[in-house]
Amino acid sequence: MTIWVGTGWKMNKTLAQARDYAETLAAVEQERWAGIQPFILPPSTALAVVSAVLGPRSRVLVGAQNAHWADAGAWTGEVSVPQVADAGATIVEIGHSERRTFFAETDATVNLKVKATVRHGLTPLVCVGEPASVFAARGSVTYVLDEVRAALQGVNDVSSVVLAYEPIWAIGSGGREAEPADIADVFAAVQAEWGGSVQAVLFGGSVNLGNAVPILAVEGVDGLFVGRAAWDVDGFIELLDLVAAR
């Protein structure tokens, strides 16, 4: 089984920093990551340079952190799926909690974006996850299943979809690291409903070198989606090597 290990850079890195990161990654003997599907999601400004540096034969996939559902038009400030594909993206991240919270992304717009991404043959990386209050009230499974159903509603072929369970309480510097027992029920439920049809179900939220292996050992976890711990390229490489050696 392929294990996905990737990082979203969020709103970080200049072009020079992005190029450095990609050059370091490109220089590594990537064969040692057999069985792993690495991916990086730079800001849209750096997609083209990162894709060009990595080149077509790299094992590392490149993706966008967001894209609009329309192909083109009067949508000031947005980028479309064809545009990010043109810049080298093969993955589109959709519905990260920061976008849902701060940019009014809803289940409905997530669904439109999933459809647009599938229509253009890219891989939708669909983020779902409950807030701390829902986790405390033991409502995580219902909340996450509802989000996944809404995101994939009416999508004829979900075989390219990658889901990322990212509980909001685990994300970012204010987040709490998840224990395997915190997330096992959600993975069991999501895999029971979608495991035969989607590509993979990842975990994200404060993943680091210390908790990556125990989290990957949770039944149903097909990979890791990492923020801070992989913003430094050496951290990303260490994480990939750790996963390869586990």
The residue annotated as part of the active site, out of 68, 93, 96, 105, is 96
Non-local CB neighbours of 47 within 8 Å, separated by 6+ positions: 62, 64, 84, 87, 88, 89
For residues 185, 195, 178, 102, the Cα torsion angle rounded to the nearest 10 degrees is -110
Cα gap 88→86, rounded to integer Å: 5
Which parts of 137-166 interact with ligand 13P (CB under 6 A)?
166
Q: Whole-number minimum distance, CB 63 to ligand 13P, in Å? A: 11
- Per-residue burial over 171-200, b = 16 or more CB atoms within 10 Å of its CB, e = otherwise: beeebeebebebbeebbebbbeebeeebbb
What is the pattern of x (binds ligand 13P, CB under 6 A) and - over residues 63-102?
Answer: ---------------------------------x------
- If one asks whether residue 205 binds ligand 13P (CB under 6 A), the answer comes out as yes
- Rounded to a whole number, what is the largest CA-CA distance in the chain? 49
Cα gap 89→5, rounded to integer Å: 16
**For ligand 13P, which residue of 82, 131, 139, 175 counts as binding (CB under 6 A)?**
175
- If one asks whether residue 207 binds ligand 13P (CB under 6 A), the answer comes out as yes
- If one asks whether residue 129 binds ligand 13P (CB under 6 A), the answer comes out as no
Q: Whole-number minimum distance, CB 8 to ligand 13P, in Å? A: 4
Tokens, residue 192: 């029971």
Is 120 annotated in the active site? no
- If one asks whether residue 172 binds ligand 13P (CB under 6 A), the answer comes out as yes
Site residues for ligand 13P per CB under 6 A = 8, 96, 166, 171-172, 175, 204-207, 225-229
Residues annotated as part of the active site: 96, 166
